Structure 1
Amino acid sequence: MSSETDQSSVTVLGLGPMGRALAASFLDAGLRTTVWNRTPGRDRELVARGAVGAGSAEEAVAASGLTVVCVVNYDAADAVLRREAVTGALKGRTVVNLTADTPARARSTAAWAAEHGIRYLDGAIMTPTTTIGTPDAVFLHSGPEDLYRAHRPVLDALGGTHTHLGEEIGRAAAYDIALLDIFWTAMAGYAHALAVARAEGITARELAPFAQGIGAILAPVFGEDAAEVDAGTFSGEGNPITSAASSMAHIIEASEAHGIDAGVMRAAEGLARRTIGLGHGTDGFLRITELLGRDRKEG
């Protein structure tokens, strides 16, 4: 049986595109890699490269002191990990869960692990499968720091940067949710922009270079405005929220003139108008952060 401190072996549960990328990186690093997937057949290429294909999840976790889980969500993870035979096989071992879900689910899983003598770290993968094993990969981790440090040599086989965000187990998932919120909101905005542009006879390729320019503007804005959000100052000296609301109204009018749904922008404009109505018209757009928090507290 592999000892808890053995740095030569690892088990990967879940062989979707990301799970296969993780397992491949472990193999490339020369680690003895055991793999298992609920749907048979996805391990063929990995086994051909030297991985051990386990016949069951309990056999897989028993093969290594460290098990890395990467499945679609925590419901899928629970369906595997909380089976009696698997739970028993994991006792005294470590699980690093790189499955995406909510901070609350991370905390409940950590509590379950502690009840059953399983060491637990939660994590998030912030970059695509193509980055795994390269310097461009980005991983976030949370949980006991000593446990993280003990398994860092194996995790380093995945490449890129690894950041331990603290011992509170939900922090990695919280960062993941917040960052994905930025990404998917931006992608929804881009999709809407392309629809409006196309309605005006502008192709996606024609718009793309200018859209990239807008993206470049955002990076420094995020950094500069973060300090104001934390301080609660929300200066609108350069661009007050009244100006933002006016721009949004133009977008809504142009969109709906072409029969394009403007629901997302209407929601954003509504937040801006409510913030103005509360007497913050000269503040910056991110004043709505407090409005959103106020809605949560009052709900």
Structure 2
Amino acid sequence: MAVLGLMWGILNSFLQGAAVLGAAGVDAARFAPLAKTGITTVAEWVAGYAEQIDKGDYPALDATLNTHLASMDHLVHESEFLGVIAEFPKFLKALAERSVADGHGAEGYAAVIELFRKPSGTRE
């Protein structure tokens, strides 16, 4: 099930990106090589994120969660500007906002795991 969730997250991210670029006149086929490079880059971070998760320590090696949140805001606005459905980037932004509200804004993105560890419907 964890791998299926991973697959859908990657595929939905690709589809969202293809929709944004499509609205700007860029074919999905032109986006595909860049998407593959991006997916490969992110895949290379997984082992380091896993180590951070296991240690419970989330250093901001590339950027803080606050920085990621600002970039997510840009994706939401760009999607809306281009007339592309923005629920997926809004969902990602909402997760980041909750993590920041929980005190993780100065930490790295892996700190979002603490939000996922909570039972559904809780804010504690």
**What TM-score does the superposition give when structure 1 sets the normalisation length?**
0.39
Pick the structure with more helix per residue: 2
Per-residue CA deviation, residues 237-281 of structure 1 (Å, 9 max, x unaligned), is 321111111111111101111221111111110111111122211
User: Given the alignment, which residue of 233, 241, 266 partners 2:90?
Assistant: 266
Judge conservation of contact 1:237–1:282 (CA < 8 Å) in 2.
no
Q: 1:297 to 1:254 in 2, by over 3 A?
A: closer
For these two proteins, the number of residue pairs brought into alignment is: 123
Letter in 2 for 1:216: T
Does 1:257 pair with 2:81? yes
Q: Which has the larger radius of gyration?
A: 1
Aligned to 1:227: 51
Q: Which runs of 5+ in 2 are unaligned?
A: none
Aligned to 1:187: 11
Letter in 1 for 2:72: M
**1:178-217 equivalences in 2 (<5 Å):** 178-217=2-41
Identity of aligned residues (%): 25
**What TM-score does the superposition give when structure 2 sets the normalisation length?**
0.91
Aligned to 1:59: none
Pairwise CA RMSD of aligned residues? 1.6
Judge conservation of contact 2:59–2:107 (CA < 8 Å) in 1.
yes
**1:166-177 equivalences in 2 (<5 Å):** 177=1
Q: Secondary structure at the match of 2:117?
A: helix
Aligned to 1:77: none
**1:99-248 equivalences in 2 (<5 Å):** 177-248=1-72
Q: 1:259 to 1:297 in 2, by over 3 A?
A: closer
Q: Which has the higher contact order (CA 8 A, sep 6+)?
A: 2
Judge conservation of contact 1:237–1:284 (CA < 8 Å) in 2.
yes
Q: Which runs of 5+ in 1 are unaligned?
A: 1-176
Letter in 1 for 2:68: A
Give me the whole-angstrom Cα distance separating, in 1, the residues matched to 2:97 and 2:120. 18
Aligned to 1:12: none
